Each structure stands twice: as structure tokens, then as C-alpha cells.
């Protein structure tokens, strides 16, 4: 019996997820911290929309760390998001 062909992407979410992974890896490769902040934040929001708070906080943590590293103003907002979810100390910048 012949093996079934690989199924094409079945949802926009799955395609976005792969594209997000690709963009994240590319941003890591070129050490583009601003892009990492933006992309990890998107990943966090998508995970939260999918109901996975742990995954959301994982990604938001990365966004926060890179924002903090470069002194990006987004660090304040990201910190507050993690604090609101009980996942970080409040950091006064």
C-alpha cells in the first residue's frame, strides 16, 4: 500500500507559526534584538490566545529580556504583563 502524501498546511495558524519560527531564527542569526522583542511578543500573544499561559509567559519572558538588554521602552510593558500573570518581579526602570 502506498504511503499517503504529506498533508498541506491546514490552517493559517500553522503557516504563521512556521513563519514566526523562521523569522525568529533569522533574527537570532543576525542578532537583531529589536526584531526578537517584536517576534517573541507576537509568539507570546498567540500562545495566550490559544490558552497556553505557560507558553505565553515563556515567549514574553524572552521578549522582556531582549527589550531590557537593549533598553527598549517595551521592557516596561512586557514586565507588567509578566507581573500581572504572577511570573516576574516588578522591575522599575
Inter-residue contact 52 to 70 (CB < 8 Å): no
Between 3 and 54, whose beta carbon lies closer to another protein?
A: 54
Interface of this chain with another protein, residues 17 to 36, rule: CB under 8 A: none
C-alpha cell at 11: 490552517
Residue 71 makes CB contacts below 8 A (sequence gap 6+) with none
Report 40-69 residues binding another protein (CB under 8 A): 53-58, 60-62, 64-65, 67-69
Q: Which is nearer to another protein, 7 or 54 (CB)?
A: 54
Whole-number Å distance between alpha carbons of 18 and 34: 20
Q: List interacting residues with another protein (CB under 8 A).
A: 53-58, 60-62, 64-65, 67-72, 75, 82, 87-89, 91
Amino acid at each position: 500500500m502506498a504511503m499517503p502524501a504529506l498533508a498541506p498546511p491546514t490552517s493559517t495558524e500553522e503557516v504563521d507559526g512556521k513563519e514566526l519560527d523562521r523569522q525568529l531564527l533569522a533574527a537570532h542569526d543576525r542578532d537583531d534584538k529589536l526584531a526578537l522583542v517584536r517576534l517573541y511578543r507576537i509568539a507570546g500573544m498567540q500562545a495566550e490566545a490559544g490558552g497556553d499561559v505557560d507558553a505565553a509567559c515563556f515567549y514574553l519572558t524572552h521578549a522582556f529580556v531582549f527589550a531590557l538588554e537593549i533598553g527598549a521602552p517595551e521592557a516596561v510593558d512586557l514586565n507588567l504583563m509578566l507581573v500581572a500573570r504572577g511570573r516576574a518581579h516588578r522591575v522599575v526602570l
